[in-house]
Amino acid sequence: MESYIHFFALKDNPFRITPDVDFFFMSSVHQEALGSLEFLMESEEGFAVIIGEPGTGKTITIRKFISQLPENVEYAYILFPNLSPEEMFRAILEDFGIEIDDTATKNKLFSALREFLIKKRKEGKKIFIIIDEAQNLPVDTLEELRILSNLETDKEKLIQIILLGQPELENKLNSDALRQLKQRITVMSRLNNLTEKELIDYINYRLAKAGNSTVRISNSAYKEIFRYTHGNLRQINQIMERALMAAFVKNKHGIDKEDIIEAANSLGMGKKGDRKSVYFVLVLTAVLTASIFSVYYFLKKPSEPVKKIEKKSSVEKVYVIPNRLNVRLNPDKNSEIVYVLKKGDSLEVLEKKGNWYKIKYKNITGWVNKNFTGPQNE
């Protein structure tokens, strides 16, 4: 079955939801935030904070920053950080590949991290701790991060910390309990939704990056997109993907106001439609599901048939040893984190490469450091 990727002669999905730095759009607020992070890297300041509502581009901005880091910079990237101080220190150490005994106390974890930072500074390295969704951090963990940021030599900070979070993080930082931490923050950026003009530029930019700058979008369609999304990046991506699908279903290469309304209804953004709109949503959903499989095989082009994979006679399984273990997109400690496993999780080993296992956990696939796993007996 033909997909809309084929239909519009695209080389890639222009509006995927997952952050992709190749599609990073430099709006005025994102440029300011990226510039603030670059200032932090060049300085010896301790803390930076980026605040934004869901879907405003916090994660893609930090990943763009990470993609530009020089070789002398190393970082730990922590997701889902509803962690106690001990769990936070352990997560940071694990992300740097440092093995720590499960029974280690908070003081021992802190000492191990301090020794690591001193060693890296002597090697001429700068170290960043990047914490995404930081509004979930408990107050006592945030306070421990402040104490951690105190570590320095006579001339230089040993560590710099970047917090990214929703507005609740700013509310938390304004509390009396964290007033000392608030005083340490020298870089504070806020990400807002796009303006209507930026929205138009954003859509055209992503279409061009995906290999097609000629998809016709009417002025009324742009206005309708802005009306539904208010310039929120995530919602723009969602509605544009459905609108492209709507045009594909109708066998046309232009997107108009009606396509946007139907796309919004299919996403639950608009008011309940009439019977015709409901029917269209059902058709669109069915075609989208089929298209996902078509796009997957078109882009991935597997060199071996699926049956060969299914013929494996035995499956090697391992379990997670530490409290948390990052699953990465590629076998590299600096690669993107796609999931965080918990202690005891059972993993299917798909492939081995050096100190890395390619694993499958439920519907998640990725790479983990084999040193943090143990063999699982059937």
Which region holds residue 332: left if phi is over 0, alpha if psi is between -120 and 50, else beta?
A: beta
**Residue 276, pLDDT above cutoff 50:** no
- 130 plus 266 within the same structural domain: no
- Report the alpha-carbon distance of residue 234 to residue 16 in Å, rounded: 9
- 60 plus 138 within the same structural domain: yes
- Report the alpha-carbon distance of residue 215 to residue 207 in Å, rounded: 8
User: Which of 162, 147, 131, 178 has its CA nearest to residue 45?
Assistant: 162
- 281 plus 317 within the same structural domain: no
- Report the alpha-carbon distance of residue 324 to residue 227 in Å, rounded: 41
- 34 plus 167 within the same structural domain: yes
The per-residue DSSP string of 180-198 comes to HHHHHEEEEEEE-PPPHHH
Choose one of 270, 300, 330: the last residue of a domain. 300
Residue 23, in any domain of the structure: no
For position 4, what pLDDT does the model report? 82
Sign of CA dihedral 170, 175, 177, 179: positive
Choose one of 191, 214, 232: the last residue of a domain. 191
The model's confidence at residue 289, banded by pLDDT at 50, 70 and 90, is low
- Cβ contacts of 210 within 8 Å, gap of 6 or more: 10, 11, 12, 13, 14, 23
Choose one of 191, 210, 225: the last residue of a domain. 191
- 46 plus 149 within the same structural domain: yes
For position 46, what pLDDT does the model report? 83
**Residue 257, pLDDT above cutoff 90:** yes
- 82 plus 216 within the same structural domain: no
- 172 plus 201 within the same structural domain: no
- 216 plus 289 within the same structural domain: yes
pLDDT higher at 239 or 310: 239
- The overall average pLDDT reported for the chain is 85
- CATH (domain of 147): 3.40.50.300
- Token output for 197: 């003009």
- 295 plus 163 within the same structural domain: no
**No. of helices (H) and no. of strands (E), the chain:** 14, 14
User: Which of 347, 353, 354 has its CA nearest to residue 318?
Assistant: 347
Q: Is 278 in a helix, a strand, or coil?
A: helix
CA angle 62, 72, 114 (to 5 degrees): 85
- 36 plus 14 within the same structural domain: no
pLDDT tens per residue, range 211-251: 976 789 999 999 999 999 999 999 999 999 999 998 998 99
pLDDT tens per residue, range 184-219: 998 999 999 999 999 999 999 999 999 976 789 999
- 202 plus 114 within the same structural domain: no
What's the one-letter identity of residue 288?
L
- 215 plus 76 within the same structural domain: no
Q: According to the per-residue pLDDT averaged within each range, which of 237-251, 299-313, 315-329 is highest?
A: 237-251
317-320 and 346-353 beta bridge pairing: antiparallel
For position 372, what pLDDT does the model report? 80
pLDDT tens per residue, range 353-371: 988 999 999 878 999 988 7
The model's confidence at residue 129, banded by pLDDT at 50, 70 and 90, is very high
For position 305, what pLDDT does the model report? 43
pLDDT tens per residue, range 85-108: 999 999 999 999 998 888 899 999
Chain position carrying tokens 């943090």:
372
Residues 70-105: b if buried by 16+ CB within 10 A, e if exposed? eeeebbbbbbebebebbbbbbbbbbbbeeeeeeebe
**Contact, 189 vs 33, CB < 8 A?**
yes
Q: Is 216 in a helix, a strand, or coil?
A: strand
The model's confidence at residue 310, banded by pLDDT at 50, 70 and 90, is very low
- Total domains present in the chain: 3
- CATH (domain of 366): 2.30.30.40
pLDDT tens per residue, range 24-74: 999 999 999 999 999 998 887 889 999 999 999 999 999 999 999 999 999
10: containing domain? 4-18+194-300
For position 299, what pLDDT does the model report? 43
- Token output for 322: 């530490």
**Residue 307, pLDDT above cutoff 50:** no
